[in-house]
Amino acid sequence: MKPVLLAAGVPKHQLHMRSGRHKIETCVKAFDWLHNIYLSEEYAKMVYAWGLLPPEIWDRYILLDVIETREQEILEQAKRRLLVIWKRNRPRLFGKDRPKDISIIDNAAFDSCRP
């Protein structure tokens, strides 16, 4: 999923799961959300659009300032739609580490998952 999400414009730090201990409920909700994105029509269209050309060709289009090809239009539409569902209710578990995440000590009374 990572290469497709990066190609769609999802910031790299949002693909990272924060450090520290998290309640299992929190992890379950976060991974359910991610699984729903994986099964979504928007993600499937992005995979299709990204697969139209090899990644090297996409890089060359950017390098050579090639614009307005049919493949690029399809990819841009797919990117926009995928980013909309990515931003909708994104769990904060996916994001940058906070200082308190790193310093959490495991003496909590609840079950926890760890990235």
Q: What pLDDT does residue 111 have?
A: 67
**Distance from C-alpha of 68 to C-alpha of 85, rounded to nearest angstrom:** 25
- Label residues 48-74 b or e (16+ Cβ within 10 Å = b): ebbeebeeeebeebeeeeeeeeeebeb
What are residue 112's phi and psi, to 5 degrees? -140, 155
Question: Which ranges in the chain belong to alpha helices (H)?
Answer: 2-8, 24-39, 41-50, 55-63, 70-87, 99-102
Task: Kindly report the pTM of this predicted structure.
Answer: 0.81
Q: What pLDDT does residue 22 have?
A: 79
Instruction: Output the tens digit of pLDDT for each of the chain's 115 residues.
Output: 999 999 999 999 898 888 777 788 888 899 999 999 999 999 999 999 999 999 999 999 999 999 999 999 999 999 999 999 999 988 888 877 766 655 554 555 556 676 5
**Distance from C-alpha of 77 to C-alpha of 39, rounded to nearest angstrom:** 18
Q: What pLDDT does residue 102 have?
A: 53
